[in-house]
Structures are given as C-alpha cells and as structure tokens.
Structure 1
Amino acid sequence: MAKAQGKKGRSLWWVVHSWIGLKLSIFLTFILATGTLAVFAHEFDWLVTPAMRVAPRAEPVASWGAWADAAARAAPDARLQTLYAPIDPWFTVEAWIDHGKGAPERIYVDPWTAQVTGRHDWANVHRFLRQVHRHLMLPTKIGIPLVCSLALLLAVSLVSGVVTYKKWWRGFFRMPRGGDGRRLTGDLHRLLGLWSLWFVALIALTGIWYLVETLGGNAAVPKLPEIAAGPILTGQRLDRLVAIARRTDPALDIREIRFMKDNGVVLLGQSSAWLVRDRANALVIDPATGKVITSLDGRNLDVHQRISEMADPLHFGTFGGIWTKALWFLFGAALTAMAVTGTMIYAMRLAKASRAQGSTMGLAWRGMGIWAYIGLALILLALALTPGAIGGAS
C-alpha cells in the first residue's frame, strides 16, 4: 500500500513537472534565454560599439575629475548626470548626459587619456536585454510580477524533478545513453538538471524575492538629504571631493558618481561589505563645502536590506567579475537547454505512445494548447514595444 501511494505521489509530481515544462515552455525559454544573455549585456555592447573599446595600459588612469571634464566639454549645453568607472580594463568610462528632455545620452571617455572616444544614444543591447527580461517592455507593475511568477513555477519544477527522479544522487556521473533520440534527450535533461540544482534554486529564490519586492515587500532605501543645487563639478574640484571620500572610507572603490540636482554629489562603489550592490556603500558630499553629509556602509544593513542588496549580484553573477559572469552564463545556457529538452521529451513520448505523425516541435506545439499562443503573444508584444520602451527613461 505504501509503495502504491509513493508511486501515485511521484506520478502527481510528474504531471506537475510536465505541465510546467510543456505548457509554459515558449515563455519560460524566452525569459531564461534573455536572462542568460543579460549576464554579458555590457560585453555585447562592447562588441558592437567601437567607442566603448580601449587597449589596457600599465600606467595609472586619469582622475575622475578629468573624466567628468571631458564628458562635460563634449556636451556643453547638457547636464552631466552620472559617471561610471570602466567595468573592465578594456572598457571606456561611461558618462550619462541629460539634455533636459527625453532619455540620457551616453558619452565614452578613454580612462587613460581622458579623451572622448564616441557617443551613443540611450538604446543599446544592455537596455534591451535588461528590460525584456525584467518586465517584457510592459509597465513594471504588470511586467515584473508576470515574469517573476515564473520563479514560483521554477521552484515547483525543481522540487517535482527531484521527487520524480528515483535515487537522483546517483546520476551526477551517469553519462547519457545513445542509440535512441528520446533516451538521449531524457538523459541529457536529467544530467543538466542535477548539475544545475544549485543554480535553479538560486535563480528561483532571487526571482521570488523580486516578486516580493514588487508586491510591496521591498526594503527601505535611505533618503538622501536635500542640498542646494550648484554647478556640476569637474576637474580639480571633483577630484577634491573624491579625495575627501577616500579619506572618509579608505576601503571604498568608487565605481559611480552621481551629480544630483538636489542631493549633492553621491559617490558609490564597493567597500568592506561583501556581495552587495554599489549603492549599499555611498558617500553624499555637499559640493559647496566639501562636507560629508551622509555615509552608507553595506556592513550596517539590516537583514531585510541585506537580502535586497544581495539579490542582483546573485541573480546575474556580477560579484566576481568576468569569471563569475562566465559561470552564470554557462549554467544559464544549461537551464535554457533544459526547457527545450523537456519539451522535446514530451513530444517524443507522445509520438511513440500514439504513433502520431509530424515533427517533434509540431507535436509539442499541439500539446501546449492555448498556452503556446499566450507565450508567443507575450514575446511578440515585448518585441513590438521595444523601440519605444528602450528609448525611454531608465
């Protein structure tokens, strides 16, 4: 009796696992694929935008003030909004310039010579992948919950896959069998799933956290003090503020400087706290007096804030630079392949059981029913909205 009940329980889990993997396969594959590509979104922009490329050099780079001065001189009628340090030694500095209306413009500056290498409008590969993966180009109040609901289903799929795979712990080094397409696909699906267990759990948990934040559970963000607006600081005046910041927090590796209209100059980056976004470590300086008004330290976050700040580095694997991003890309590709092979397994099983005629994808499409049209419609809608969405505000 107990064995029969256990078998029935596994069968129920199998139905759940198959339903998620088949009915939502088009939408799920699209979200997983765009998320995987988004890991290297900046690198894709680097490939297609020559102005972003520089050859690394041994000598010290120019100062933040020199970078800001170059960007400001390139657009004298606009306002310098944000300045970003190079992501890697082969990247330029990136400045965001506000023209008063519409989206910002990007200006690229050579880190060593402080010479402008080129300009680009707001729309780029990073904006596309970020927005289509995060909220399908829809309003965020609609798009984020829609996309993040897949994290719940991903978690259920993880549990159901483990439950239905008998003695799964023995399968880590079980090589896929050949000779039969269905058997080979099934073995590959299970092997990828086992080695990706940790990654699936991580993506599901961070995705669920984004859903919680969207539904009102977001952590409190410190309110910046109001400071009288003044002229944008460049050159030696900005370097003086950078020196003050480094004396205040010698461990701070400044990655970004924001020139706020009503909140002074904000310097953000990585410091002593591990696994947090740059914004968790910040200094707000009054540009008129050089006084540090606010100091944020990632080590002082409460549990709620800490979870919030960890989510992005863990979800996209950015915390360890190029090497962790490469690892996340690899496992993201494996997760995307699992969504595809899961659909193929269903179609092959259907073809064998009913001797149905047609291609594997044709059988899978019929098995998806109305969900195939829903998934395809969401993807087409996102692509149709792209021209207007990625040209808008951040």
Structure 2
Amino acid sequence: MDQVRVKKGRSLWWVVHSWIGLKLSIFLTFILATGTFAVFAHEIDWLVTPPMRASPRSEPIASWGAWAQAAARAAPDARLQTLYAPIDPWFAVEAWVSRGKGAPDRVYVDPWTAKVTGRHGWASVHRFLRQAHRHLMLPTKIGIPIVCSLALLLAASLASGIVTYKKWWRGFFRMPRGGDGRRMTGDLHRLIGLWSLWFVALIAVTGLWYLVETLGGNAKIPKVPDVEAGPMPTGVALDRLVAIARRADPALDIREIRFTPDNGVIFLGQSSAWLVRDRANAVVVDPATSQVVARLDGRTLNIHQRISEMADPLHFGTFGGLWTKIIWFLFGTLLTAMAITGTMIYAMRLARSARSDVGSLKIAWRGMGAWGYIGIALILLTLILTPGAIGGAS
C-alpha cells in the first residue's frame, strides 16, 4: 500500500515537472537565454562597439578628474551625469552625459591618455538583454512579476525533478547511454540537472526575491542629505574630492562617480563589505564646501538591505569578476539546454508510444497548447517594444 502511494506521489510530481518543462518551454528558454547572455552583455558590447576598447599599458592610468574633464569637453552642451571606471583593463572609461530630456549619451575615454575614443547612444546589447530578461520591455510593474513568476516554477521543477529521480545522488557520474536518442537525451537531461542543482536553486531564490521586491517588499535605500546645486567639478577639482572620499573610506575602490544636482558628488564602489552592489558603499561629498556629508558602509546594512544588495551579484555572478561570470555563463547555458532537452524528451516519448509519423516538433507544439502561443506572443511583444524601450529613458 505504501509503495502504491509513493508511486502515485511520484507520478503527480512527474506531471508537475513535465507540465512546467513543456507548456512554458518557449518562454522559459527565452528568459534563460537572455539572462545567460546578459552575464557577458558588456563584453558583447565591447566586441561590437570599437570606442569601448582600450589597449592596456604598463604606465599608470589617468585620474578621475582627467577622465571627467575629457568627457565634459566632448559634450559641452550636456551635463556630466555618471562616470564609470573600466570593467577590465581592455575597457574604456564610460561617461553618461545628459541634455535633460530622453536617455543620456555615452562618451568613452581612454583610461591612460584621457582622450575621448568615441561617443555612442543609449541603445546597446546590454540594455536589450537586461530589459528583455528583467521585464520584457514592458512597464516594470507588469513585466517583472511575469518574468519572476518563473522563479516559482523553477523551484517547483527542482523539487519535482529530485522526487521523480530515484536515488538521484548516485547519478552525478552516470554517463549518458548511447544507442537510443530518447534514452540518451533523458540521461543527459538528468546529468545536467544534477550538476546544476545549486545553480537552479540560486536563480530560483534570487528570482523570488525580485518578485518580493516588486510586490512591495523592497528594502529601503539610505537617503543622503540635500546640498545646493552648483557646477560639477572636473579635472583637478574632482581629483581633490576623490582624495577626500578615499580619506573618508581608505578601503573604498571607487568604481562609479555620480554627479547629482541635489546630493553633490557620490563616490561608489567596493569596500570592506563583501558580496554587495557598488551602491552599498559610498562617500558623498559637497563640491561647494569639500565636506563629506554622508557615508554608506555595506557592513552596517540590516538583514533586509543586505539580502537586497546581494541579489544582483549572486544572480549574475559578477562578484568575482571574469572567472565567476564564466561559471555563471556556463551553468546558464546548461540550464537553457535543460529547457530544450526537456521538451525533446516529451516529444520523443509521445512519438514513440504513438508510433506516429508526425515530427517531434509538431508533437511538442501540440502538447504546449495555448501556452505555446502565449510564449511566442510575449517574445514578439518584447522585440516589438525594443526600439522604443532601449532608445528612450533609462
């Protein structure tokens, strides 16, 4: 009697696992693929945008002030908004300059010579992948819940996969069997799933956190005091403020400078706190008085704020630089492959049991029912909205 109950339970979990893997396979594959490529979105932009490239040199790089001055001179009709340090030695400095309406332009500066290498609009591969993966180019209040609802399904798929795979812990080194396409695909699907357990759990948990934030559970962002607006410093004036910020937090590795009209100059980056976004560590300086008016330290965050600041580095694997991004990209690729092989398994199983001449793709499409059309519609809607979404406001 107990064995019958166990079999029925596993059968129910198998139905859940199959439903998720088949019905939502098109939409799930799109979200997983865009998220995987988003890990290296900046690098892809680097490949297609020559001004982003720099040639590493042995001599010291130029100062933040020199970079800011070069960007400001390249766009005298715009306001310097943000300045980013190179992501890697072969990247140029990136400055955002705004004319007050619409999205900012990007100005690229060579880190060593402080000479402008080129200018580019707001649209980029990074913007496309980020916005497509995050909210399908829809308003965030609509798009984020749709995308993040997949985290619930990933968690359910993870649990159902473990339950239906008998003695799964023995399968980590079980190589796929050959000779039969369906059997080999199934073995490969299970093998990838086992080695990706930690990654599926991580993506599901961080995705659920994004859903919680969108529904009103977001952590409060620390406020900084207002200061009187004035001309934004560049050149030597900015370098003096950089020195002040570094004295205020000697451990701060400045990765970004924001020139705000109401809160002065904000220096952000990585400091003593580990596994947080750059914005968790900051020194705010009033450019008129050269006084530090606020300091943010990631170590002082409460649990709610710390979880919020950890989500992005964990979700995209950016916390360890190039090496963790490679790992996240590889496992993202495996996860995307799992979504595809799951559909293949279903189609081949039905084709074999029915002994039908109908192709596997047609069988899979029929099995998706209305959900296949919904997935295609969401992807097409994303592509249709792309020109206005990534060319408009940030």
- Report TM bin, short chain: over 0.9
**1:356 shift after superposition:** 2.2
Q: Describe the SS at the equivalent of 2:106.
A: strand
Distance in 2, Cα, partners of 1:57 & 1:325 = 24
The CA distance in 2 between the partners of 1:355 and 1:148, in whole Å, is 38
Query: 1:318 is paired with a residue of what secondary structure?
Result: coil
* 1:234 aligned onto 2:234: yes
Q: 2:247 is matched with which residue? A: 247
Matched, 1:12 2:12: yes
AA aligned to 1:323 is W
Displacement, 1:362?
1.4
The one-letter amino acid paired with 1:39 is: V
* Aligned residue number for residue 270 of structure 1: 270
Q: Secondary structure at the match of 1:188?
A: helix
Q: Write the mapping of 1:85-164 to structure 2, written as runs, cut at 5 A.
A: 85-164=85-164
Deviations 1:309-332 (A, max 9, x none): 000000000000000000000000
The 1-side partners of 2:92 and 2:340 are apart by: 37
Partners in 2 of 1:55 and 1:363 — Cα distance? 52
* 1:344 matched to 2:344: yes
Could you list the per-position Cα deviations for residues 72-108 of structure 1 after superposition, in whole angstroms to 9, with x for gaps in the alignment? Answer: 0001111000000000000000000001211100000
Q: Kindly indicate whether residue 376 of structure 2 is the aligned counterpart of residue 376 of structure 1.
A: yes
Alpha-carbon distance, 1:357 to partner: 2.1
In structure 1, the residue matched to 2:178 is 178
User: Using the alignment, how far apart are the partners of 1:360 and 1:271 within structure 2?
Assistant: 53
Q: What is the CA–CA distance in structure 2 between the aligned matches of 1:264 and 1:34, rounded to whole Å?
A: 36
Query: 2:192 — aligned with what?
Result: 192
Q: Which amino acid aligns with 1:321?
A: G
Give 1:355 shift. Answer: 1.4
Letter in 1 for 2:120: H
Query: Are 2:66 and 1:72 aligned?
Result: no
SS at match of 2:254: strand
Name the SS for the 1:272 alignment partner. coil
What corresponds to 1:333 in structure 2?
Answer: 333
Q: Which runs of 5+ in 1 are unaligned?
A: none
Q: How many residues align?
A: 394
Partner of residue 290, structure 2? 290
* C-alpha distance in structure 1 between counterparts of 2:224 and 2:360, whole Å: 57
Q: What's the CA shift for 1:203?
A: 0.1
Deviation at 1:210, TM superposition (A): 0.1
- The two structures, once aligned, show a CA RMSD in angstroms of 0.5
Residue equivalent to 2:317: 317
For 2:195, the aligned partner's letter is W
- 1: distance between equivalents of 2:297 and 2:203? 26
Aligned to 1:40: 40
Q: CA deviation at 1:358?
A: 2.0
**Cα displacement (A) at 1:144:** 0.1
One-letter amino acid matched to 1:316: F
Aligned partners of 2:21 and 2:372: how far apart in 1? 12
* Alpha-carbon distance in 1 for matches of 2:169, 2:308: 32
CA distance in 1, matches of 2:134, 2:355: 40
- Aligned-pair distance for 1:57? 1.1
1:40-97 alpha-carbon deviations (Å, 9 max, x no partner): 0000000000100011111110000000000000011110000000000000000000
Partner Cα separation in structure 2 for residue 339 and residue 359 of structure 1: 19
Classify the secondary structure of the residue corresponding to 1:255: strand
Q: Distance in 1 between matches of 2:165 and 2:371?
A: 26
d(CA) in 1 for partners of 2:219 and 2:328?
26
| Alpha-carbon separation, structure 2, partners of 1:157 and 1:342 | 11
Question: For the residues of structure 2 that align with 1:352 and 1:360, how far apart are their CA atoms?
Answer: 10
Structure 1 distance, partners of 2:356, 2:224, is: 64
Which residue is 2:59 aligned to?
A: 59
What amino acid maps onto 2:343 in structure 1?
T
What is the letter of the counterpart of residue 240 of structure 1?
R
* Runs (5+) with no aligned partner, structure 2: none
Bigger drift between 179-188 and 353-362 goes to 353-362
* Structure 1 length-normalised TM: 1.00
| d(CA) in 1 for partners of 2:303, 2:341 | 39
Establish whether residue 385 from structure 1 lines up as the match of residue 385 from structure 2.
yes
Find the aligned partners of 2:361 and 2:133 in 1 and give their Cα distance: 24
What TM-score do the two structures reach when normalised by structure 2? 1.00
Secondary structure at 1:295's aligned position in 2? Answer: strand
3-state DSSP of counterpart to 1:279: helix
The one-character-per-residue Cα deviations of 1:253-303 (angstroms, maximum 9, x if unpaired) are 000000001110000000000000000000110001110000000000000
Of 88-97 and 219-228, the range deviating more from structure 2: 219-228
- AA paired with 1:137? M
AA at the equivalent of 1:386: T
User: Aligned equivalents of 2:346 and 2:367: distance in 1?
Assistant: 8
In the aligned structure 2, how far is the partner of 1:280 from the partner of 1:359?
53
C-alpha separation in 1, matches of 2:238 and 2:226: 19
Deviation per CA, 1:203-245, whole angstroms, max 9, x where unpaired? 0000000000000000010112111100011000000000001
Q: Distance in 1 between matches of 2:58 and 2:173?
A: 45
The Cα offsets for residues 344-387 of structure 1, whole Å up to 9 and x where unpaired, read as 00000000111122222111001100000000000000000000
The one-letter amino acid of 1:52's match is M
CA distance in structure 2 between the aligned counterparts of 1:168 and 1:110, rounded to whole angstroms: 52
Displacement of 1:157? 0.2
In structure 2, the partner of 1:169 is: 169
Q: Which amino acid aligns with 2:226?
A: E
Question: Aligned AA for 2:12?
Answer: L
